[in-house]
Amino acid sequence: MAGLAASGSNPDVELLYDINGLAQDAPHWLDRVVTFIGEYGLLLAMVLLVLGCWWSLRRRGGEHAAPSMAALLWAPLAAGVAVLVNVPIRGFVERPRPFVDHQGLDVLVSGKNDYSFVSDHATLTMAMAAGLFLAHRKFGIIGLGLALLEGFCRVYLGVHYPTDVIGGFALGTAVALLLSPLATALLTPLAEAAERSSRFGTLIRARGAHPARAVIPGARTEAAAEERDLAA
């Protein structure tokens, strides 16, 4: 499997040259900007996006504050789990970096001597984007855009094939979505306990945020009966 995408007639390789060719025609300062963004900037942006989502959910409060926070906590955890899952995948596929088998690439990041499939950066960002989408749709859509940009940057930098990126997207999404029910079942009680705590309660709900409504057994039934009596 190590020879995957070794042929120059492969569409994967053709797209690699097309995207990486943009780096050859770009000014040096732009290559440096894309290098920083693709290596560190977008990962940092994803972390800031998670913090922004936490701040938004914390201020909103409401009866679903704890489950929402549990879903949000799963986003970075899903990214970590996805990268761990990728370790045996890389060792099994053993796909060399594209610059090993193909000449003429403009490689903007040095020191990439490990295997190429699948991309850790693509896996991380897409797992966090999928986890964010489960917690907050708007932040999740922004995260999806950042993940797609990360995938483009990895190919632009000459360190990944397009299918490395697609594989990373698939892996990150699968881990985030498939393990979400189990993760939220485990994390929600922790978030609820933190919400009731005097020390950690403000991590779940800001002071002055809309409180959770206490549901008294039978209250809705009694209220509905009163409404029917008044209507009669």
- Domain assignments of the chain as residue spans, ordered by start: 11-231
CATH class of 11-231: mainly alpha
Termini Cα distance of the chain: 76
| Phi and psi torsions of 194, nearest 5° | -65, -35
Mind listing the pLDDT tens digit of every residue in the chain (232 residues)? Answer: 444 444 446 899 999 999 999 998 889 999 999 999 999 999 999 999 999 999 988 888 666 788 889 999 999 999 999 999 999 999 999 999 999 888 889 899 988 888 999 999 999 999 999 999 999 999 999 999 999 999 999 999 999 999 999 999 999 999 999 999 999 999 999 988 888 877 877 888 766 555 554 443 444 434 444 444 444 4
CB neighbours (10 Å) of residue 156?
Answer: 23
| Phi and psi torsions of 135, nearest 5° | -90, -35
State the Cα–Cα distance between residues 12 and 9, nearest whole angstrom.
8
CB neighbours (10 Å) of residue 76?
Answer: 17
pLDDT computed for residue 117 by the predictor: 94
Please give the structure tokens belonging to residue 8: 């120059």
- What's this model's pTM, rounded to 2 decimal places? 0.82
Opening angle at CA 152, ends 150 and 154, nearest 5: 70
pLDDT computed for residue 14 by the predictor: 92
- How far lies 115's CA from each of 19, 34, 94, 111, 126, in Å? 20, 22, 6, 12, 20
pLDDT computed for residue 210 by the predictor: 56
